[in-house]
Amino acid sequence: MSLRAVTAAAASASRGGDHAGGDHGGVMTPTLYHQFEDVEQQNESYLVGMWTCLVQEIMFFGALFLAYTVYRAAYPATYLDAHKFLSITWGTVNTLLLLTSSFTMVMAVNANQHRKTMSVAAWLSVTILLSLGFLGVKTIEYSNKFHEGLWVGNFNYAQANTMYLQHHGGKAHHEAKDVYPYFPSVRELATGYSLNSVQPGATSTPGVEMTPAGPFTSYQGPPGDVEYWSKRAKLFFSLYFAMTGLHAVHIIIGILMMSVLIGLAVRKHPYVTQDYMPTEMVGLYWHFVDIVWIFLFPLMYLIS
């Protein structure tokens, strides 16, 4: 839909609809800044600028995803072993929270285009609540990691595994088997289980980091070397904290921008009553933050 069409739609909707924000009905008359010829040029410039900014953000996160990919290709078994500490339940809750918040954000933009200013404030408030819920869950997860000894500052993989075993010890044997073989201390408990079926003989040379067969084989180094596994797992959690932390910072920035918008809406500022581009821009940003999480969730929590 072209911008003209959107404005026209907003105009026709506002004739029959809610006039909460509109002071005199009719089409929106956004503030036109002196450098632009008309509103259409102004809005298109905003869109180009915002999309360019999102491209920039993709490259920013992209560098981290590159590091993630390189090390996952090099140490697949470490990733598989270390990811067991991430709670799929919390991850799923957070995914649902963020997906819902994207929906409420769309509703806010829609309400703004239809000049329902109070609805804009309401939908944005719901979005903020959902994202605060996301941050709350992240706080729980981070503090769990800290207590288990998985934060990079107090990293203690043996302790984390012992705690993990205590919690999951009663589980059925086949579940345990999926998890145990990769960590040596646990493996000692399940003696007799071969680290991998490909190269059962070549397993006990501490110091050997990778086989010449290349990074994609399932064999991942000396199974008896607790230090080796602990350090590689710390690398995984370095990535986990860097990526989810950077994402959380973006969530916080989004919350701040939405709060400003709510303030403008409540005070019936023309940026919201006469214009929908500010809300639309924050919306674009918010969907980007959402999409980053859509990639982070399977890459971190759903490794198999």
Partner 1 sequence: MPRAHYLNADHSIKSWLLTTDHKRIAILYLISLSVMFLLGGVAAAVVRLQLTTPHGVLTGENYNKMFSAHGIVMVFLFLVPSIPAAMGNFLVPLMIGARDLAFPRLNLASWYLYMIGSLMTLGALTFGGVETGWTFYTPYSSIYSNSNVTLAILGIFLAGFSSIATGINFIATIHKMRAPGLTWFKLPLFIWSTYATSVIIILGTPVVALTLLLVVLERTFGIGIFSPELGGDPVLFQHMFWFYSHPAVYIMILPSLGVINEIIAANTKKRIFGYTFVAFSSIAIAVFGFIVWGHHMFATTQSMYASMVFSVISFLVAIPSAVKVFNWTATIYKGSVEFSATMLYALGFIGLFVIGGLTGLFLASLATDIHLTATYFVVAHFHYIMVGGALTGYLGALHFWWPKMTGRLYPEFWAKISALILFVGFNLTFFPQFIAGYVGMPRRYAFYAPEYQIWQVLSSAGASVLAVGMLIPAFYFLWSLKYGKVAGSNPWGAVGLEWMTSSPPPTTNFEEVPVVTWEAYEYHPIHDDDKDMTVPSPTAPAVTAEERNAS
Give the residues lining the site for partner 1 (CB under 8 A). 33-37, 41, 44-46, 48-49, 52-53, 55-57, 59-64, 66-67, 70-71, 74-75, 78, 152-153, 209, 231-232, 234-235, 238-239, 241-242
For residue 245, what are its two tokens? Answer: 């932390």
Residue among 241, 240, 279 nearest 258 (CA): 279
**158 vs 235, beta carbon nearer partner 1:** 235
**55 vs 302, beta carbon nearer partner 1:** 55
Of the CA atoms within 13 Å of residue 85, those in its CB half-sphere come to: 30
**132 vs 291, beta carbon nearer partner 1:** 291
The least distance separating partner 1 from the CB of residue 239, rounded to whole angstroms, comes to 6
Instruction: Annotate 221-242 with DSSP letters as a single string.
Output: S-TT-HHHHHHHHHHHHHHHHH
**146 vs 193, beta carbon nearer partner 1:** 146
**55 vs 140, beta carbon nearer partner 1:** 55
The least distance separating partner 1 from the CB of residue 119, rounded to whole angstroms, comes to 29
Instruction: Annotate 4-31 with DSSP letters as a single string.
Output: HHHHHHHHHHHHHS--SS-SS-SS--PP
Burial letters for 128-166: b for 16+ Cβ neighbours within 10 Å, e otherwise?
Answer: bebbebbeebbeebbebbeebbbbeeebebeebbebbbe
The least distance separating partner 1 from the CB of residue 43, rounded to whole angstroms, comes to 10
The least distance separating partner 1 from the CB of residue 159, rounded to whole angstroms, comes to 17
The least distance separating partner 1 from the CB of residue 273, rounded to whole angstroms, comes to 21
CA distances from 88 to 46, 84, 91, 176, 289 (A): 38, 9, 5, 16, 20
